[in-house]
Amino acid sequence: MGKITTEQDYDEKIIRTDYSEIMQKNYIDYAMSVIVSRALPDVRDGLKPVQRRVLYDMYELGTRYDKPYRKSARIVGDTMGKYHPHGDSSIYDSLVVMAQDFKKGQVLVDGHGNFGSIEGDGAAAMRYTEARLAKITQEVFLQDLDKDVVDFMPNFDETEKEPQVLPVRVPNILINGSEGIAVGMSTSIPPHNLGEVIDAVMAFIEDSDISEEELLRKLKGPDFPTGGIIVNADDLPAIYASGTGKLRVRGRTVIEKLKGGREQIVVTEIPYTMIGAGIGKFMSDTAALVESRQTTDITDISNQSSKEGIRIVIELKKGADAENIRNLLYKKTKLEDTFGVNMLVVAEGRPETMSLKRLIESFVDYRFDLATRKYQNLLARDLEKAEVEDGLIRAVDVIDLIIEILRGSKSQQMAKDCLIYGRTEGIKFKTKKSERQAAGLHFTERQATAILDMRLAKLIGLEILALEEQHKETLVRIEHYRTLLNDYDAMAADIVADLEAVKKEYARPRRTSIENAEAAVVKEKEVVVEEVVFAMDRFGYAKLLDKNIYQKNKESVDADNRYVFPIMNNDRVCIFTAEGRLHTLKAADLPVKRIRDKGVPVDNVSNFSTKNETILWLCPMETLMGRTVFFATKQGSVKQTAGDDFISNVRSIASTKLAEGDSLVLAGLSDEVEQVVLRTEEGYFLRFALSEVPVFKKTAVGVKGIKLDDGDEVKEAFLLAPGLDLTVDFKGKPVQLGRLRLGKRGSKGVKRK
């Protein structure tokens, strides 16, 4: 009978623990998995797991650089099925990046087809593109995989084996760099010049006590595939010593002279950070400089880039200061940008931020491990080979005896035992002498097997001579391997020679210049202060108009716009919102347009948000000086605030303090006002003297303006100047506000039906 499970049995299997502890443990496990198994590169081969798996799968598929291309979809599918079960998009994206020469210092994949462009065009679908290993990948990253120099581990379902790390012979972590975002940490390592990196590694091998400064004489700094100029050379020693810091990268420009004395600025290399959508952003930002009148000297910008390289042309007016415009572009656009360096890698299974010297040291240790395992395996292989060769050479000298043993033996095992142990029992010999000679044989088992497998053709004289020469070469190699394994200097010299060979084959000139440059200084043109007209339509598009043009078209401008008022071109516009915020925008940030031209959205030139806020009132900041501002809210609060409280260079401040759930219904100047009228949703009107409303700071809540019934709220508020008899419509009937009974602030008012 089966065992009956009781409630007590279940109780014993319940693990009681804090929920927070479970969450903490699981989250840490997840974070470490992302850090180590996805986002960060290994310091040894400089690859993330998905990159390593793609390259290894291509190696397994035989997509060599001298073989035909294979469909990317085949490579991606094979990688996903065997090694990386995380979706095809991440695998294909990784494959594409490794084939893009504008992102990698050394491309690792030779792509055929549309693999995207530097301007941000995406790669074609994987079913259309083809790929194969680049020559450097095959010869420098994967060449020694067959020599058992790295450890292999089971794949996700334990049906295949994959390398834990690739036997890369150069420090790929520096040559190609890496970028990745993990959980709570990220890495950003710039690419470097292969030749300079190898020089730095060789210098470290020669002197492991070399300083960071001496290493930087070999490795000048980052070398971006897009070229450009690093302009803070003095910061590099600190960046490489700590592993973190910021690089200032500029695009390379030339000033070309045109006919008629005009000039144009041509961008020939872009900052590495501008790859992709950054080029379009640069062009739109440059156009925005003209629209916002930060410069009037740019007449056109065009992207004339092609397969030959980057060429972005900025045409200038005649007489324009090209140098000043270039500095303006450096200062206001991404033509000069910051590249954040954070040399975070996975070392011995954990994340670590490393200095340049520490990165090189880690690679050199790995390189010596690879060489040691390689030569140990080659030594073992050649020792076996020498053993066999020695046995065959000895066998040739007694070949007649061996043939007699083979003919006289009843089985292969009997002959083998005779060759190894000298056992002659059961073997028929022609003479006793032969039997005595056979009893003295002592070949090894490996030699005996080789002798038994030897073909008669090997007995030809030339073949015997070749075998003897081959044996000499094998013994020389064995001696060489033993020297390398027992002598550090010999091993170091061998590694240096290999690095020099790689440098000779694959090194290329540096693309990125490194220098110290002053921060871009822009000579501001003197702005002629003049009066213009601010206009904003009901959709929130604002512009400035010449005041003379406005006077000629006053009626149509007033009809087409919600706000129209004169303002000085060096003043600010104040935007009071129903949510109790005050946003300011510079009049200088608004374009001067023609009557029918569209303006720019107010939320593009200020902190005002069209989605979350409602404009209540606009005015020039200058008009607030020495004046007072009246506020009324839907919950019936009122107050006055000195206009000087709102004079500020801050783009956004609180205009007043509001109770929870409250909002403004009116904000306006109250200096020349005598009375206030509040109208509620239920139809109560209250007119009272403005003198009853106290003046508070903008950070204070107002006082009660009207007594409200439950569910009622203020819908409108009006300011009445002396002699002004304002008439409003309420439920289709006119209401003359000046004839309402004068009441007291805080009372209920009169209800109109």
| Catalytically annotated residues | 128
Cα separation of 487 and 479, whole Å?
12
Torsion, Cα of 282, 283, 284, 286 (10° steps): 80
CA-closest candidate to residue 152, choices 378, 380, 373: 373
* Beta-carbon contacts of residue 384 (< 8 Å; ≥ 6 apart): 446
Q: Report yes or no: 163 and 150 within 8 Å, Cβ to Cβ.
A: yes
Q: In what order do the strands lie in the sheet with 263-269?
A: 252-257, 263-269, 312-316, 298-303
3-class DSSP state for residue 649?
Answer: coil
CA angle 561, 563, 568 (to 5 degrees): 120
Cα separation of 504 and 527, whole Å?
58
**Exposed, middle or buried, 42 (CB in 10 Å: 0-12/13-18/19+)?**
buried
204 DSSP β-pair partners:
none
Cα separation of 39 and 184, whole Å?
11
CA-closest candidate to residue 299, choices 249, 260, 268, 273: 260
Cα separation of 651 and 608, whole Å?
9
Residue 230 CB coordination number (10 Å): 26
Dihedral pair phi/psi, residue 4, rounded to 5°: -85, 125
**Exposed, middle or buried, 290 (CB in 10 Å: 0-12/13-18/19+)?**
middle
CA angle 99, 101, 282 (to 5 degrees): 120
Cα separation of 42 and 347, whole Å?
6
* Beta-carbon contacts of residue 149 (< 8 Å; ≥ 6 apart): 167, 370, 373, 374, 377
Q: Report yes or no: 314 and 332 within 8 Å, Cβ to Cβ.
A: no
